[in-house]
A and B are shown apart, each in its own frame.
Chain A
Amino acid sequence: MNYFPDEVIEHVFDFVTSHKDRNAISLVCKSWYKIERYSRQRVFIGNCYATNPERLLRRFPCLKSLTLKGKPHFADFNLVPHEWGGFVQPWIEALARSRVGLEELRLKRMVVTDESLELLSRSFVNFKSLVLVSCEGFTTDGLASIAANCRHLRDLDLQENEIEDHRGQWLSCFPDTCTTLVTLNFACLEGETNLVALERLVARSPNLKSLKLNRAVPLDALARLMACAPQIVDLGVGSYENDPDSESYLKLKAAIKKCTSLRSLSGFLEAAPHCLSAFHPICHNLTSLNLSYAAEIHGSHLIKLIQHCKKLQRLWILDSIGDKGLEVVASTCKELQELRVFPSDLLGGGNTAVTEEGLVAISAGCPKLHSILYFCQQMTNAALVTVAKNCPNFIRFRLCILEPNKPDHVTSQPLDEGFGAIVKACKSLRRLSLSGLLTDQVFLYIGMYANQLEMLSIAFAGDTDKGMLYVLNGCKKMKKLEIRDSPFGDTALLADVSKYETMRSLWMSSCEVTLSGCKRLAEKAPWLNVEIINESDNNRMEQNGHEGRQKVDKLYLYRTVVGTRMDAPPFVWIL
């Protein structure tokens, strides 16, 4: 099979970087498996409990970059108790013991402690890049260790984490010799920031490309920071609130004009909208704009800003933009690829929210659109059919109608036909989230047409087990299936147990599955971890004579090569 020496093959493999492709290569033959594993530098583990650190290190001893994901997706919406798991500590301990040359660690939905961060900072001489997304369990003390000990730190990227802010001096823990920073994102920190330390740090970081500030950085400090870093590409403005005196504002305007490399803008956590015009001169260069936390930017200020952004590829916005605002986006942003419209009023009943009209306008105006997340008040089948016709290239389509079970508001019909049109037209669809009134019919369509679908999110939908069966039987590439409040039960769950070996995980909460159904599944599939999360009375399930027929509140199952995990809390039963 091998016409070339190993070194040549390895060199060829160097050009293959995607995880999917490298995984495929390793399956070709034993020799390729061996060459591939020694040359693999970046490893992605989508479920930290699918394997363990020992196996990881045995297979990939030359590991440089590790990505780990912990809690299931629905943990984002408070459906998973905090103590469920996803601890990074054992991974860092094992990596430290093995002396692997770790340079990058990317974590999502994991529990990270200050102890973990300190150990990380001390164990890897060449550590360069730390990216934490939706993690929790640590404080600014942990950040101080990273700042102090990682001599070659390039990226410190904290996205939407719950970090206890001790208002310490973590920023001043970066030694004066640290000049290598490329990314510094601390937007999610709530506390005060040592502005002097921050300015000095930015001034001595000539490679800094991405800077995202937190709320505590006021407008005049922003002006000084931008003056130090005109090379900035990605900027997260902190608080834009304090009305600047005219001098600071002039300085800001001047600094902004010099930032000709600026391509991505976010933040505006507290905004004085009239100061937005300071950014107009660079808007024509922007490819990414995230105003989804800027509750005070709306109306004419927002529209004026967007009208300057003709090259925008990514836009994250609040629904206060309204349908009219979306029409402006549709006519201005012809390069738009990704749009996210978040709800601004989470208590319900917002009257500035968006409707199906905004979505249709966007689909008509933006031919390159491939990813959408859209929270809206109402939807119709006709609109979805039009959207499908306008945009057959969707890769990600996530629609959330705020009121569960809401039908087509014109015809009062379920939205089966609308979503059916989407899956039929969008042959590359990989991710889909459903909402509104839906029957089994929509799942028939999904099973029939959504051949590339990898992730499906279902809530308050379907009538019978047939719905779930259509999906399990039809979607050959399904990886993550998450279902809540839908009438699917044991029949669907148990119909094809081997299917779960081809999937990363299945989540079912407030459905019709019973304890005995889950037990039967666990018996049939010992290579699955079948977890029951039962937060209410722990003993009720056992004492109750009808325990078998008891409905399971939350079921989370996933394939694994390392069996039952040892760190589960008492309210999690692993069958």
Chain B
Amino acid sequence: MDEFVNLKETELRLGLPGTDNVCEEKEVVSCCYNNISNKRALPSALENEIESSTRKTETSPPRKAQIVGWPPVRSYRKNNIQTKKSESDHEVQGSYVKVSMDGAPYLRKIDPSCYKGYSELLKALEVMFKFSVGEYFEREGYKGSDFVPTYEDKDGDWMLIGDVPWEMFVCTCKRLRIMKGSEARGLGCGV
């Protein structure tokens, strides 16, 4: 009987751990019992993974247990996608973001959350890339300079720096780009 209790703890279910949807549970559990009684026990690594995740008191969705070779994706693909994912996650979590300037030979990295607001950020950029950014106007954007500071947000769109509240900017900014020249003028002239 104990065996079955443990199995229940470790079975893959649809709901969050600890949710007590008794009816659903019974149905799903009975299906799984049929399968499990004929199947071998799940590999022990898998059981340990699930047990440890159900013991946590979580509000977030349970971490999916890692079964060897599942999902069936070539290891080459797994390695190449995951590295990129972790890189971009990193950038969004208020950590360092890349800053490029048109014409500069290499990029820089800054942590926007280190600054208290837009003026501090812009001053830092001006020093870093040796340029000046002009004056910001709510409607017309930046005036008085060939350079326009922009950033890429979570949706992949390029936005003018300064439009949204600072906190929102820090959370949604993925990378910065200081545009210059004709491209910048198109953006900066309140079109």
A and B, one complex? yes
Which chain A residues have a beta carbon within 8 Å of chain B's beta carbons?
74, 76-79, 134, 160-162, 188, 242-243, 245-246, 269-270, 273-274, 292-293, 295-301, 318, 342-349, 375, 400, 402-407, 409, 412, 414, 433, 437, 457, 459-460, 463-464, 484-487, 510-512, 551
Bound together, the chains give a CA A484 to CA B70 distance in angstroms of 11
Q: How far is the CB of A213 from chain B (nearest CB, A)?
A: 14
Contact indicator A343/B71 (Cβ below 8 Å): yes
Contact indicator A459/B70 (Cβ below 8 Å): yes
B12: A residues at CB distance < 8 A: 403-405
Bound together, the chains give a CA A409 to CA B63 distance in angstroms of 19
Q: Say which residue of B38, B85, B183 sits within 8 Å of A463 (CB atoms).
A: B38
Q: Does B163 have its Cβ within 8 Å of any Cβ on chain A?
A: no
Bound together, the chains give a CA A405 to CA B156 distance in angstroms of 36
Bound together, the chains give a CA A229 to CA B68 distance in angstroms of 44
Contact indicator B156/A274 (Cβ below 8 Å): yes
The stretch from B28-36, B108-116, B123-131 touching chain A is: B28-36
Contact indicator A160/B158 (Cβ below 8 Å): no
Q: Say which residue of B32, B82, B157 sits within 8 Å of A300 (CB atoms).
A: B157
Bound together, the chains give a CA A482 to CA B18 distance in angstroms of 36
Bound together, the chains give a CA A345 to CA B63 distance in angstroms of 12
**What are 28 A-B contacts with C-beta separation under 8 Å?**
A76-B72, A77-B68, A77-B72, A77-B73, A78-B68, A134-B74, A160-B74, A160-B77, A162-B76, A242-B100, A243-B102, A246-B183, A269-B80, A274-B156, A293-B81, A299-B155, A344-B81, A344-B85, A347-B64, A348-B63, A349-B63, A400-B72, A402-B64, A402-B71, A406-B14, A412-B27, A487-B38, A510-B40
Contact indicator B70/A347 (Cβ below 8 Å): no
Q: How far is the CB of B35 from chain A (nearest CB, A)?
A: 7
Q: Does B165 have its Cβ within 8 Å of any Cβ on chain A?
A: no
A298: B residues at CB distance < 8 A: 156
Chain A residue at smallest Cβ distance from B64 = A348
Contact indicator B102/A274 (Cβ below 8 Å): no
Say yes or no: A484-B182 contact (C-beta < 8 A), given A344-B81, A347-B64, A406-B14.
no
Contact indicator B100/A243 (Cβ below 8 Å): yes
Contact indicator B76/A134 (Cβ below 8 Å): yes
Contact indicator B69/A437 (Cβ below 8 Å): no
List 3 A-B pairs, minimum CB-CB distance, nearest first: A348-B64, A77-B69, A487-B38
Chain B residue at smallest Cβ distance from A74 = B69
Q: Say which residue of B32, B61, B68, B75 sits within 8 Å of A76 (CB atoms).
A: B75
Bound together, the chains give a CA A273 to CA B78 distance in angstroms of 22
B183: A residues at CB distance < 8 A: 246
Chain B residue at smallest Cβ distance from A489 = B38
Q: Does B39 have its Cβ within 8 Å of any Cβ on chain A?
A: yes
Q: Does B45 have its Cβ within 8 Å of any Cβ on chain A?
A: no
B107: A residues at CB distance < 8 A: 242-243
A295: B residues at CB distance < 8 A: 81, 84-85, 88
Contact indicator B177/A243 (Cβ below 8 Å): yes
Contact indicator B71/A412 (Cβ below 8 Å): no
Bound together, the chains give a CA A402 to CA B72 distance in angstroms of 9
Could you list 15 further interchain pairs (A-B, Cβ under 8 angstroms) beyond the known A293-B81, A400-B71, A512-B39? A77-B69, A160-B74, A246-B183, A269-B84, A293-B77, A301-B156, A342-B73, A346-B73, A347-B63, A405-B32, A412-B24, A459-B72, A487-B38, A510-B40, A511-B40
Q: How far is the CB of A276 from chain B (nearest CB, A)?
A: 10
Contact indicator A485/B38 (Cβ below 8 Å): no
Bound together, the chains give a CA A215 to CA B157 distance in angstroms of 23
Bound together, the chains give a CA A273 to CA B152 distance in angstroms of 10
Chain B residue at smallest Cβ distance from A77 = B69
Q: Does B181 have its Cβ within 8 Å of any Cβ on chain A?
A: yes
Chain B residue at smallest Cβ distance from A247 = B103
Bound together, the chains give a CA A405 to CA B32 distance in angstroms of 8
Q: Does B67 have its Cβ within 8 Å of any Cβ on chain A?
A: yes
B77: A residues at CB distance < 8 A: 160, 292-293, 342
Contact indicator B40/A405 (Cβ below 8 Å): no
Q: How far is the CB of A108 from chain B (nearest CB, A)?
A: 12
A510: B residues at CB distance < 8 A: 40, 43
Q: How far is the CB of A415 from chain B (nearest CB, A)?
A: 12
Bound together, the chains give a CA A512 to CA B38 distance in angstroms of 9
Chain B residue at smallest Cβ distance from A159 = B76
Chain B residue at smallest Cβ distance from A161 = B76
